[in-house]
Amino acid sequence: MLLLDIGHLNLAGDGVARHRGRTVTVPFTIPGERVRVSVDPARKGSASVIEVLRPSPHRVQARCQHFGVCGGCAWQHIAYPEQLRLKTELVTRLIHEAVPEAPALRSMIAATPLHEPWRFRQKVHFVFGGAGTLIMGHYARGSRRVMAVRECPVHDERGNAVAFGLFDAYARIGGRPGTATLKSIAIRVSGSTDETMATLVVTDNADQRVRAATRKALGATWAPSSFHVNVHPRGDAFIFGPETRRITGTERLRDDVAGVTFLISPTAFFQTNVRAAEILVGLVLDAVPEGADVLDLYAGAGLFALPLARRGHRVIAVEANRTAVADGEASLRVNRIPAERCRFVAKPVSTFTRRPASTDRLRSGTVGPVVILDPPREGCEAAVLDDVFGRLSPSDAIYVSCNPETLGRDLKRIARHGYVIVSAQPVDMFPHTPHIETVVVVRRRNPPR
């Protein structure tokens, strides 16, 4: 056992202390705390808290009974205002390490959706497991072991009701066949309508007992308004497989963001926290000058492209996922946005940007093109950054990041092309976790007159 003083948090959100010149990582701690820990012999440099001897004034009682074991939330022990401060501090530090001349950002506070850090996840996802007896829950922290849960306070209540209702129906099947067939359940809940869409993921669709249990469950008062089955026989890390069948209800769920109606397919990516997504869209719209043409890279289903097109901009939206592109085009039609205002291109961003002809049409805008980049956690490919900021050379660009570490790396490369950071605003998409979104606006240092 050791006595340690927690100095700071690492990028994973765990406390870090020093002992005899070595770094020790201690999950579920807060900077400034003194703790008694047990060192994990199997994981060098990692320790577990035995007792908090000097608690932080920001330490609170976790709301969820599964906290600490579940691999979902890692910060429920930290008061929410302090979570926001810690995230803002992290973003600020990483930006200044990458671009030392960046403007002071320390006065910025991470925005939170409507000041409500609970029941914000409108995409609810649980996995099935168990040996002989079916269980449903989340993966235990640091593992692929399924742990049973009976609550999840960060999920929308309607999504939980559907998930637990379906689980009860399938649990009555019992036995190994049901466990082997059922993989997970995903429910999307609309924030603007009463629609709910459930997608059951199975290894195969031949289990008649699962089918019978599903038919019976769909007659309940809590039943989703649409139900789909996705077949995913492989044991990889992806949630969904290639085949999806609609069983009942609509093909897509409707939800509204920034005055635009979006149509969302069962397996397509859309923002998990739609209230926070509205904040992101507002920040992006505010940063795009009037009259600018826009190139939206990693566009998904058009979260930014459609509101911009509706406002009158000409937008090219580039996205590799064809399901997301189909959703975006369907949303264009339902919103009656003219096709010439927004064109979706279904190809990888790196393929699109390496061809000069792909972006030449954007140069006719009255104030020059603006580029939006909203990459996955891995950040942008180096070639994409060089093509965009070296060849296309927009007057302004907006980088929407879900990973401060790769954001810092990419901003360093962007700065080498002669761009300066105009603003950076964190947005708290996932309360009670160390994850944070950030909207950064950059501008070419010496734009042509």
> Catalytic annotation on 402?
yes
Catalytic residue, candidates 64, 243, 402, 405: 402
List, in sequence order, the alpha helices (H) in 1-41.
Answer: none
| 177: region left, alpha or beta (phi > 0 left; psi from -120 to 50 alpha) | alpha
∠ CA 403-285-401 to the nearest 5 degrees?
5
Question: According to CATH, where is 2.40.50.140 located in the chain?
Answer: 2-59
Place of tokens 């160390």: 434
d(CA 33, CA 17): 10
CB-side exposure of 412: number of CA atoms within 13 Å? 12
d(CA 65, CA 137): 13
d(CA 268, CA 424): 28
For the whole model, what pTM was predicted? 0.93
Q: Positive or negative, the Cα torsion across 74, 79, 81, 82?
A: negative
Is residue 23 within 8 Å of 5, Cβ to Cβ?
Answer: no
Question: According to CATH, where is 2.40.50.1070 located in the chain?
Answer: 123-256
CA-closest candidate to residue 189, choices 91, 264, 283, 130:
264
Q: What is 2-59's CATH topology?
A: OB fold (Dihydrolipoamide Acetyltransferase, E2P) (2.40.50)
Tokens matching residue 431: 């309360």
- Residue-by-residue pLDDT tens, the chain, 449 positions: 899 999 999 999 999 999 989 999 999 999 999 999 998 777 778 999 999 999 999 999 999 999 999 999 999 999 999 999 999 999 999 999 999 887 766 556 778 776 789 999 999 999 999 877 899 999 999 899 999 999 999 999 999 999 999 999 999 886 444 446 899 999 999 999 999 999 999 998 888 999 999 999 999 999 999 999 999 998 888 899 999 999 999 999 999 999 999 999 999 999 999 999 999 999 999 999 999 999 999 999 999 999 999 999 999 999 999 999 999 999 999 999 999 999 999 999 999 999 866 665 555 444 568 999 999 999 999 999 999 999 999 999 999 999 999 999 999 999 999 999 999 999 999 999 999 999 999 999 875 54
CA-closest candidate to residue 27, choices 8, 7, 60, 49:
49
∠ CA 266-398-253 to the nearest 5 degrees?
15
Catalytic residue, candidates 33, 195, 319, 437: 437
Selected from 3.30.70.890, 3.40.50.2300, 3.40.50.150, 3.30.70.270, the CATH number assigned to the domain covering 84-115+273-444 reads 3.40.50.150
Range 123-256 classified under CATH 3.30.1330.80: no
